[in-house]
Structure 1
Amino acid sequence: MQRRQLVFKGLEEAVTECQALLDSGYQRGGNWTLAQACRHLRLTQDASIDGYPPWMSLFAPVRPLIRWLLLPRLLRGDSPAGIRTAAIFLPPEDMQDQVELSEFTKSVERFQRHTGYLYPHPGFGKLERSQLEEIHAAHAAHHLGFLLPVPIR
């Protein structure tokens, strides 16, 4: 698998990167298309506002360990590849890049406007809004890093 090392200061940079990939074209260095990455990112982001399935709270006792082991790696752009996600966050294969980019953009705008309660992250627990945005931006950098822009000729 080919992978670029991306770092986003915020979610707007993730949207900008998605648009650049859509404009230039891309090659998959991993398993997902741009549409699939956008759908996955949107679903996980929206859960911060709408809530996670109750069964995900079963991981609460191990959150301190997960937070200690994985959060620093995620934030520095060294997130491990190949960790399976919950089925509810798995995107289908038959989606259109432009449509899913548009939905991801709306999700980012919604997250940034949201001033209410944010649900605890299943792996990292209760976080401040700024920390959660940093995690979502790092998560986006991880997935978008597997999409390789087609060089302009």
Structure 2
Amino acid sequence: MEQLRELHFDDLNAAVREARSLLQSGYNRNGNWSLGQICRHLVLVQDPSVDGYPKWMSLFAFLRPVMRRILLPKVLSGDSPRGIRTASMFVPPADLDDAREVEAFSASVTRFYAHLGDYAPHPAFGRLPRERIEQIHSAHAAHHLRFLAPRD
């Protein structure tokens, strides 16, 4: 199994800076997705915090207390499970332009922070304070971006 970078972001702006840095330096992939694919995935997962998630994602809401207790600490500690298939709506297409997707991710982060009030309930963890949703998305960005190593 390849050695992945250890990444932690205090906020989503740090994730945007990392994505821009990888765009500038170039990168080696240690996973399945390019920088553009990762950024598109992050946008697809993050935007519903503002816009709301599809209703079908609430079917397993009864599991949220267990997910908050077992999975959330893993996600926040940077110990997110690897290799779990994501819902098809969150899987990015193959041929994306890295620069365009990094900028789309940056715009999504700006929109995320500009949103007033509560974010939509997270499908796995339910309604959480703004700061916790930000931590979840920041940890999620670190989880994916660690699969890309800057070129020397």
After TM superposition, the score normalised by the length of structure 2 is 0.97
Equivalent residues, number: 151
Q: How does 1:64-79 map to 2 (within 5 A)?
A: 64-79=65-80
Q: Which amino acid aligns with 2:86?
A: T
Partner of 1:137: 138
Partner of 1:58: 59
Partner of 2:32: 31
Q: How does 1:2-13 map to 2 (within 5 A)?
A: 2-13=3-14
Partner of 2:109: 108
Contact 1:3 1:145 in 2 (8 A): yes
Tell me how far apart the structure 1 counterparts of residues 103 and 61 of structure 2 sit (CA, whole Å): 33
Contact 1:18 1:144 in 2 (8 A): yes
Q: Which amino acid aligns with 1:101?
A: V
Tell me how far apart the structure 1 counterparts of residues 60 and 131 of structure 2 sit (CA, whole Å): 23
Secondary structure of 1:127's partner? coil
Secondary structure of 2:121's partner? coil
- How many angstroms does 1:68 deviate by? 1.1
Structure 1: 4+ residue segments shifted above 3 A: none
Tell me how far apart the structure 2 counterparts of residues 88 and 131 of structure 1 sit (CA, whole Å): 23
Tell me how far apart the structure 1 counterparts of residues 110 and 140 of structure 2 sit (CA, whole Å): 17
Tell me how far apart the structure 1 counterparts of residues 65 and 6 of structure 2 sit (CA, whole Å): 26
Unaligned stretches of 5+ residues in structure 2: none
Q: Which amino acid aligns with 1:111?
A: F
1:113-138 deviations in Å (ceiling 9; x for gaps)? 11034110001110111110010000
Tell me how far apart the structure 2 counterparts of residues 71 and 42 of structure 1 sit (CA, whole Å): 20
Secondary structure of 1:27's partner? strand
Unaligned stretches of 5+ residues in structure 1: none
Partner of 2:48: 47
Contact 1:2 1:30 in 2 (8 A): no
Secondary structure of 1:148's partner? strand
RMSD: 0.9
Contact 2:118 2:130 in 1 (8 A): no
Q: Which amino acid aligns with 1:64?
A: P
Contact 1:57 1:122 in 2 (8 A): yes
Q: Which amino acid aligns with 1:93?
A: A
- The share of aligned pairs that are identical, in percent, is 57
